[in-house]
């Protein structure tokens, strides 16, 4: 009886909670005239206005800089005893923000399900006017959901959002991660096909242009975005299903007219502002990542990235990624003479006493820059993916794609630096060929050597800003080869996890958790992690 009472009480509270979520969606995204035609565009803007994409404090402080960037060493790794133990509350917040409206996070899944219901109740004419936004919303959903899979594996998807679709409270099942990936890949292909021939009415074009805060209502860019995310997912699972990935990827890359990508026109000196999928800050935003980086000590330069990858190659990105730092405790507060990162093996005491002698992340580019965009996908990533595909399977010039990607990454970070206020080094284009010819970067050696260079440079390009992508690719490729100190760590947490365990906010309340409980281990692997 006590158990039944507890379950009934929880169901009642859950219904109240989800009911308030549904009400908040209706109130937040209905326009004054209450017309469904306009409501879908408004909700689409809500999907895009995602604090888990934006370069803002909470997402970076509680998720990127305490989990994914740490586990990929694209941010400074504090040598504490709990560094490999993600905070359950923080991970639960990331989980919930995908599914439900929560503060400033609008809940991508809940919004999409509400859009579906609204769309299905429309007349044929209104559906036609909203088709472009529904296809763009699906691309957004698949992109975000695939990142959830990359972190957790099986996730609720097909039955998630039951309150929005059927006005009932239902614990959603966990969908198989492989099936989800395949469905996302198929769905992205369908969206690309739609965008290829889409003809918009004046009403549809106006609504799409006005409400699309990511790509400005450009059907061409949405087509490229869909294809680029599809390429990312196909390459991500390419060691799990090489034959299937090879077939689809080679088909795409052999026909750029049918499968255009966000590749910057295959030119190194590209313009990220007009090419990449970047979520620019709202005009009302005045914050920065300074507190997110400094509160946990993540503002120090990562060891392997600076000391091993960048300095030996005289990487031209160094002055916009890092400051040399200065010793505030020394007489005259002298600036450090050279760039160097603290060794990852430093103990917490060593780091505290020696930190001022080492480099930190650049203040203009990162610490005080309130114009930093949320990074969705960039041309350098796309060209690194192309380079890997060409190197493994042929069909194109792997060296050219790799060198384009590396050059584009240089231009990308100088672009981010240009958005800030402070010291802005000038890019000397002549430095890029010299950089590409350096021993650790030059596209030479065996196929293993070349692939390693592709993967390491892509990891460097992701940096902490795309910490989740960096962690996923590190687990998939096993590059770079990183040292994670294990001495003094908590028992059972001596190494980084290979996946995130489900947060208690889900395991404690979803009855379907029992279906996945046996494999809910921190050392279990996402299906594509087979190398």
Phi, psi of 432 (to 5 degrees): -70, -50
Residue 322, beta-bridge partner list: 361
Tell whether pTM > 0.75.
Answer: yes
Q: Tell me the CA end-to-end span of the chain in Å, nearest whole number.
A: 50
174, 183 Cβ separation under 8 angstroms: no
Which residue in the block uniquely carries the two structure tokens 């120090």?
A: 300
C-alpha–C-alpha distance, residues 338 and 322, integer Å = 11
**What does 220-232 look like in DSSP terms, one character per residue?**
HHHHHHHHHHHHH
pLDDT at 103: 67
Could you tell me the CA-to-CA distances from 226 to 46, 130, 222, 489 in Å, in that order? 19, 18, 6, 42
State CA 106 to chain mean position distance.
Answer: 17
The tens place of each residue's pLDDT in the chain, 531 residues long, gives 233 322 323 232 233 333 444 445 555 554 434 444 448 999 999 999 999 999 999 999 999 999 999 999 999 999 999 999 999 999 999 999 999 987 667 899 999 999 999 999 999 999 999 999 999 999 999 999 999 999 999 999 999 987 666 667 789 999 999 999 999 999 999 999 999 999 999 999 999 999 999 999 999 999 999 999 999 999 999 999 999 999 999 999 999 999 999 999 999 999 999 999 999 999 999 999 999 999 999 999 999 999 999 999 999 999 999 999 977 656 565 789 999 999 999 998 999 999 999 999 999 999 999 999 999 999 999 999 999 999 999 999 999 999 999 999 999 999 999 999 999 999 999 999 999 999 999 999 999 999 999 999 999 999 999 999 999 999 999 999 999 999 999 999 999 999 999 999 999 999 999 999 999 999 999 999 999
CA distance 199 to 38: 19
Helix, strand, or coil (residue 174): strand
The whole-angstrom separation of Cα 264 and Cα 380 is 8
Q: Cβ distance 201 to 128 under 8 Å?
A: yes
Does residue 86 sit in helix, strand or coil? coil
Phi and psi, residue 66, nearest 5°:
-115, -5
**Can you say whether the dihedral through the CA atoms of 514, 520, 525, 526 is positive or negative?**
positive
CA distance 340 to 336: 9
CB atoms within 10 A of CB 483: 12
Q: Which long-range contacts (CB under 8 A, 24 or more apart) does 135-139 make?
A: 135/191, 135/194, 135/195, 135/198, 135/222, 136/44, 136/191, 136/208, 136/212, 136/222, 137/44, 137/47, 137/112, 138/112, 138/187, 138/191, 139/188, 139/191, 139/222, 139/225, 139/226, 139/229
26: number of Cβ within 10 Å: 14
Which residue carries 């809500």 as its tokens? 46
State how far the Cα of 330 lies from the Cα of 212, in Å rounded to an integer. 51
> CA 374, CA 466: separation in Å to the nearest integer?
9
Q: What is the 3-state secondary structure (H, E, C) of 265-323?
A: HHCCCCCHHHHCEEECCCCCCCCCCHHHHHHCCCCECCHHHHHHHHHHHCCCCHHHHEE
Question: Where do the DSSP E strands lie in 27-165?
Answer: 155-156
What's the Rg (C-alpha) of the chain? 23
Q: Which is nearest to 355 in space by CA: 439, 297, 410, 293? A: 297
CATH of 267-493, one of 3.40.800.20, 1.25.40.390, 1.10.340.30, 1.10.3720.10: 1.25.40.390
67 SS3 class: helix
**CA distance linking residue 205 with residue 218, whole number of Å:** 9
- Rounded to whole angstroms, the Cα distance separating 111 from 28 reads 11
* Other CB atoms within 10 Å distance of the CB of residue 438: 12
The region that residue 12 occupies, defined by phi over 0 for left and psi between -120 and 50 for alpha, beta otherwise, is: alpha
> Does the bond joining 480 to the residue before it have cis omega, within 30 degrees of 0?
yes
Helix axes 242-254 and 379-393, enclosed angle (nearest 10):
110
Which among 463, 459, 471 is positioned nearest to 372, based on CA atoms? 463
Instruction: Please name the residues in contact with 105: beta carbons below 8 A apart, sequence gap of 6 or more.
Output: 50, 51, 52, 96, 97
pLDDT value at position 330? Answer: 61
User: Is 457 in contact with 412 (CB distance < 8 Å)?
Assistant: no
Rounded distance between C-alpha atoms, residue 360 and residue 289, angstroms: 14
Domain residue spans of the chain: 267-493
User: For residues 226 and 365, is the Cβ–Cβ distance under 8 A?
Assistant: no
CB neighbours (10 Å) of residue 480?
Answer: 18
């Amino acid at each position: 009886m006590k158990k039944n009472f507890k379950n009934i009480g929880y169901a009642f509270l859950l219904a109240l909670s989800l009911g308030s979520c549904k009400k908040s969606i209706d109130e937040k995204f209905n326009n004054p005239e209450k017309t469904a035609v306009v409501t879908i565009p408004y909700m689409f803007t809500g999907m895009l206005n995602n604090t888990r994409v934006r370069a803002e404090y909470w997402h970076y402080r509680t998720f990127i800089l305490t989990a994914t960037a740490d586990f990929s060493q694209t941010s400074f790794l504090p040598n504490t005893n709990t560094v490999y133990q993600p905070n359950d509350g923080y991970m639960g917040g990331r989980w919930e923000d995908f599914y439900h409206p929560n503060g400033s996070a609008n809940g991508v899944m809940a919004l999409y399900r509400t859009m579906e219901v609204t769309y299905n109740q429309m007349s044929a004419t209104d559906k036609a006017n909203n088709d472009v936004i529904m296809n763009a919303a699906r691309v957004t959903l698949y992109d975000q959901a695939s990142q959830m899979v990359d972190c957790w594996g099986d996730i609720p998807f097909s039955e998630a959002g039951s309150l929005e679709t059927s006005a009932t409270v239902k614990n959603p099942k966990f969908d198989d991660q492989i099936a989800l990936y395949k469905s996302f890949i198929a769905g992205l292909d369908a969206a690309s096909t739609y965008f290829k021939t889409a003809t918009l009415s004046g009403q549809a074009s106006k609504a799409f242009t006005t409400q699309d805060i990511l790509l400005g209502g450009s059907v061409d860019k949405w087509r490229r975005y869909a294809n680029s995310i599809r390429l990312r997912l196909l390459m991500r699972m390419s060691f799990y299903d090489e034959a299937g990935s090879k077939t689809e990827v080679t088909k795409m890359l052999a026909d750029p007219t049918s499968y255009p990508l966000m590749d910057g026109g295959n030119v190194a000196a590209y313009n990220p502002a007009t090419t990449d999928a970047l979520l620019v800050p709202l005009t009302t935003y005045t914050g920065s990542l300074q507190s997110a980086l400094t509160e946990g000590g993540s503002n120090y330069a990562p060891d392997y990235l600076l000391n091993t990858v960048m300095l030996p190659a005289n990487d031209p990105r160094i002055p916009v990624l890092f400051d040399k730092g200065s010793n505030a405790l020394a007489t005259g507060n002298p600036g450090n003479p050279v760039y160097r990162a603290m060794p990852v093996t430093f103990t917490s005491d060593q780091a505290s006493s020696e930190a001022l002698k080492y480099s930190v992340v650049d203040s203009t580019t990162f610490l005080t820059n309130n114009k930093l965009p949320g990074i969705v996908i960039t041309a350098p990533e796309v060209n690194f993916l192309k380079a890997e595909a060409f190197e493994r399977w042929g069909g194109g010039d792997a060296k050219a794609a790799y060198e384009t990607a590396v050059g584009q990454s240089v231009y990308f970070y100088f672009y981010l630096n240009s958005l800030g206020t402070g010291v802005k080094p000038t890019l000397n284009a002549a430095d890029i060929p010299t950089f590409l010819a350096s021993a650790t970067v030059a596209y030479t050696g065996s196929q293993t050597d070349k692939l390693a260079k592709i993967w390491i440079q892509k990891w460097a390009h992701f940096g902490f800003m795309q910490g989740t992508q960096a962690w996923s690719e590190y687990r998939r490729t096993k590059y770079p080869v990183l040292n994670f100190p294990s001495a003094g760590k908590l028992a059972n947490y001596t190494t980084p996890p290979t996946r995130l365990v489900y947060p208690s906010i889900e395991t404690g309340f979803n009855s379907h958790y029992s279906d996945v409980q046996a494999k809910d281990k921190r050392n279990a692997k996402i299906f594509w992690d087979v190398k």
